[in-house]
Amino acid sequence: MQTDLIISGFGGQGALFAGQILAYAAMDEGLHVTWIPSYGPEMRGGTAHCTVVISDDEIGSPLVRNPAAAIVLNQPSLDKYEPLMAAGGVLVVNSSLIPRRPQRTDLRVVEVPANALAEELGNVRLANVVAVGALVAAAGVLSVEAVERALAAHLPERHKHLLPANSQALRRGAALAAAALA
Amino acid sequence: MAKQLLKGNEAIAEAAIRAGVQAYFGYPITPQTELLEYMARRMPELGRVFLQAESELAAINMVYGAACTGRRVMTSSSSPGVSLMQEGLSYIAASEVPCVIVDVMRGGPGLGNIAPAQGDYTQIVKGGGHGDYRMIVLAPATVQEAVDLTRLAFDLADKYRMIAVVLLDGSLGQMMEPAELPPFADGAALGTPPAWALTGAQGRPKNVVTSIHLVPEDEEQFNQQLQARYAEIARTEVRCHEYATADADLIVVGFGTAGRVAQTAVKQARAQGLKAGLLRPITLFPFPEQRLAELARQARGFLVVEMNAGQMVDDVRLAVSGQGRGGLTPAVRFYGRMGGIVPLPDEVLGALKALAETAGHTPQPSPVSCLPLDGGPVAR
């Protein structure tokens, strides 16, 4: 069983870190995982994305053509990845920043006002974690608890005080996705 | 020790530190810069040398000088930077001092781009500098292998007084994967410089490290020594990874990232009933030519997958030539992507299916013609 996913947004929205949370959780669950960032001559305000592949078997390609799941944190990311998604894939859309709905009808779309929810929790920088919660609940690739444990185990010491807020963000996103897909 | 989620470039840096590297000289270039950055942070903490040189040319000559002391030293760069180092590599090889070079390959030729590629195969494996020298070349396909082969590179470099290269593409340098780091190498073992090293000749006759042999007979004899060592390595140090080769009649050959992508294609081909297998060379010099010759006796076709225009494929052709049943040569096909594009498993699977449909028929050699000196009609 292999799940490949892409997380994409403006630089600074935490797309790369969101992918790393999933990679840590997968590793701690004893799964195979690869995480690879977009890298290049990037500019401030440009988009950044990462590809994460999680599998119970050795992973060949760390890159994918048609991801089974994606988080798009901004409009350019939706424009780029909506057409590339595998049919039946899970697409988490940050509706706080993306005014349009996805056009494809063969995707499982979860619209999450990630920025608004994060602001409610007191820190807009948690928007990426809200989206991760939604993805995990919708795609069923890892449990919310596994991701929580990974955050506790791998957040740098200086950020440990943010752990309760991260857990809340994760659970808000997961609850919203579960309700949306129910 | 538990597994950690490590980026390829940083994993190599930490593995080198644990292997006992005493000095790192380098110059930043994407996609290997995290390696240099990691060294910049960690080496001074450990009381070791980190020096950012003014150029790749300076860096490789600093490596040359430091290697003469018999200590473990290294540099890292990416394709255009490694091109700049070629003169130094030839001198180091001819001086028989050990060192480790890491080449995190990117798209070329020229300035190219910073995306992953494998276009340096010929330059690194055949020798991009002048003269008859070889370097031991290790090609990891995972972050764990990058860690393990970095340690091995230092050990082999010391054992044979040679340059050992860890050759990978930019995607492996940038990628994070779970990997386990080895313990630190035994400090006592690393503490005593070898007898040939330049350590100050107090109380002993002087040592000389040089690459110059002005008398042709001396130079020839020295070259014969080098060649004897390379032949010994070719007998004893070949390493490769195989998957499902036992009963395979179609063999895919790829190194590094191309090899791991190809393994997925082989699994898919098996699921569709093709008797496919994979040979992924881990040492590119020495090349697993003997194993390929053995496989040629059971295989009707080989598919070589590379992230270049077809470089290692020449070595596969040589290895299997005339080695098939009845002295025939099995079909050897090539599938490659260039410019920084990583092939995906479905592409490799497509090429493998095409091979399966036609393999076993030895193609007629195409007529070769060459123009005479005056450019007139071709003489046959």
Whether residue B136 has pLDDT greater than 90:
yes
Residues in A closer than 8 angstroms to B115, CB to CB, are 40
Q: Name the residue in chain A with its Cα closest to that of B180.
A: A27
Distance between first and last Cα of chain B? 67
Express as a percent the part of chain B with pLDDT over 70: 95
Residues in B closer than 8 angstroms to A40, CB to CB, are 30, 114-115
Percent helix, strand and coil across chain A, each to the nearest 5: 45, 20, 35
Domains and CATH numbers, chain A: 2-181 (3.40.920.10)
Q: Do A63 and B174 touch (CB under 8 A)?
A: no
Q: Name the residue in chain A with its Cα closest to that of B343.
A: A61
Taking the Cβ of residue A86 and every Cβ of chain B, the question of whether any pair is shorter than 8 Å is answered with: no
Q: Name the residue in chain A with its Cα closest to that of B259.
A: A60
Peptide bond into B31 cis (omega under 30): yes
Identify the residue among A39, A59, A155 best suited for mutation to test binding to B, counting B beta carbons within 10 A and taking the highest: A39
pLDDT (mean) for A90-97: 98
**Lowest-confidence pick of B96-105, B275-284, B343-352, B365-374:** B365-374
Q: Name the residue in chain A with its Cα closest to that of B34.
A: A39
pLDDT (mean) for B156-185: 97
As given in the structure block, the two tokens for residue B209 are 């490290």
Q: Which fold has domain B240-358?
A: Rossmann fold (3.40.50)
Whether residue A104 has pLDDT greater than 60:
yes
Q: Name the residue in chain B with its Cα closest to that of A2.
A: B264
Q: Do B177 and A34 touch (CB under 8 A)?
A: yes
User: Could you tell me the residue ranges of all domains in chain B?
Assistant: 4-183+212-236, 240-358
DSSP assignments along B250-280, one per residue: EEEE--HHHHHHHHHHHHHHHHTT--EEEEE
Select the residue of A37, A61, A154 nearest B174 (Cβ to Cβ).
Answer: A37
Confidence of residue A29 (pLDDT cuts 50, 70, 90): very high
Q: What is the pLDDT of residue B374?
A: 79
Q: Name the residue in chain A with its Cα closest to that of B174.
A: A36
SS3 A2: strand
Q: What is the pLDDT of residue B368?
A: 61
SS3 A136: helix
pLDDT (mean) for A98-123: 96
Q: Which of B273, B279, B277 is nearest to B250 (CA)?
A: B277
Contacts of B349 (CB under 8 A, 6+ apart): B265, B268, B269
Taking the Cβ of residue A180 and every Cβ of chain B, the question of whether any pair is shorter than 8 Å is answered with: no
Whether residue B362 has pLDDT greater than 70:
no
Residues in B closer than 8 angstroms to A59, CB to CB, are 260, 264
The one-letter amino acid code at A60 reads: G
| Sign for the pseudo-dihedral over CA of B136, B137, B141, B145 | positive
Q: Name the residue in chain A with its Cα closest to that of B243.
A: A58
Residues in A closer than 8 angstroms to B30, CB to CB, are 39-40
Q: Which of B204, B211, B361, B231 is nearest to B287 (CA)?
A: B231
Q: What is the pLDDT of residue B379?
A: 55
Residues in A closer than 8 angstroms to B260, CB to CB, are 58-61
Q: Which fold has domain B4-183+212-236?
A: Rossmann fold (3.40.50)
Taking the Cβ of residue A23 and every Cβ of chain B, the question of whether any pair is shorter than 8 Å is answered with: yes
Element housing B56 (H / E): helix B56-67
Express as a percent the part of chain A with pLDDT over 70: 99
Contact B117, B84 (CB under 8 A): no
Taking the Cβ of residue A140 and every Cβ of chain B, the question of whether any pair is shorter than 8 Å is answered with: no
Rounded-to-integer distance, Cα B260 and Cα A164, Å: 39
Q: Do domains B4-183+212-236 and B240-358 have the same CATH topology?
A: yes
Residues in B closer than 8 angstroms to A63, CB to CB, are 171, 342, 344
Cβ atoms < 10 Å from Cβ of A156: 7
Helices (H) and strands (E) in chain B, counts: 14, 14
Confidence of residue B359 (pLDDT cuts 50, 70, 90): confident
Select the residue of B177, B260, B267 nearest A33 (Cβ to Cβ).
Answer: B177
Q: What is the pLDDT of residue B258?
A: 98
Rounded-to-integer distance, Cα A93 and Cα A141, Å: 18
Rounded-to-integer distance, Cα A86 and Cα B322, Å: 45
Residues in A closer than 8 angstroms to B342, CB to CB, are 61, 63
Q: Do B114 and A41 touch (CB under 8 A)?
A: yes
Residues in A closer than 8 angstroms to B257, CB to CB, are 62
Contact B320, B292 (CB under 8 A): yes
Q: What is the pLDDT of residue B358?
A: 87
ipTM above 0.90, yes or no: yes
Q: Name the residue in chain A with its Cα closest to that of B257.
A: A61
Q: What is the pLDDT of residue B243?
A: 98
Q: Do B261 and A32 touch (CB under 8 A)?
A: no
pLDDT (mean) for A159-175: 95
Rounded-to-integer distance, Cα A9 and Cα A18, Å: 11
Query: Judged by CB atoms within 8 Å, which residues 51-80 of A form the interface with B?
Result: 58-65
Q: Greater confidence, B377 or B40?
A: B40
CA-based nearest distance A66→chain B, Å? 11
Select the residue of A27, A37, A60 nearest B178 (Cβ to Cβ).
Answer: A27
Mean pLDDT computed over every residue of chain B: 95
Q: Do B5 and A63 touch (CB under 8 A)?
A: no
